[in-house]
Amino acid sequence: MRAALASRALPPDLNGDPNAVGPAILKLADAENPPLRLFLGTVPTLMVPGVYQARLAEWDAWKDVSLAATQVQHG
């Protein structure tokens, strides 16, 4: 089990510096229009956009079904 987890460990340069989190949070707190969510670090910043693009594509593929569920029958 440890070997499996170790093989999935991030390269040291992607782990980031924990000391950099504080200034990032303070910049967020001081922002005039802070985002609802903020990714900290290399891995989520690079990985999450692809995940969301896949979700958007899936939602678009099912758009007709979604819209059909909101149609009101008059009669």
Structure tokens at 29: 């707190």
Widest CA span in the chain: 66
Q: How far apart are the first and last CA of the chain?
A: 63
Question: What CA–CA distance (Å, rounded) separates 1 from 4?
Answer: 5
Residues 40/21, Cβ–Cβ less than 8 Å: yes
Q: Is the pTM of the predicted complex or chain greater than 0.95?
A: no
pLDDT at 13: 72
Residue spans per domain, the chain: 2-68
Q: Is the dihedral of CA 60, 62, 37, 39 positive or negative?
A: negative
State the pLDDT confidence band at 36, using cuts at 50, 70 and 90.
very high
Q: Average pLDDT over the chain, rounded to whole?
A: 85
**Model pLDDT for residues 44-60, shown as the tens digit of each residue:** 888 889 999 999 999 99
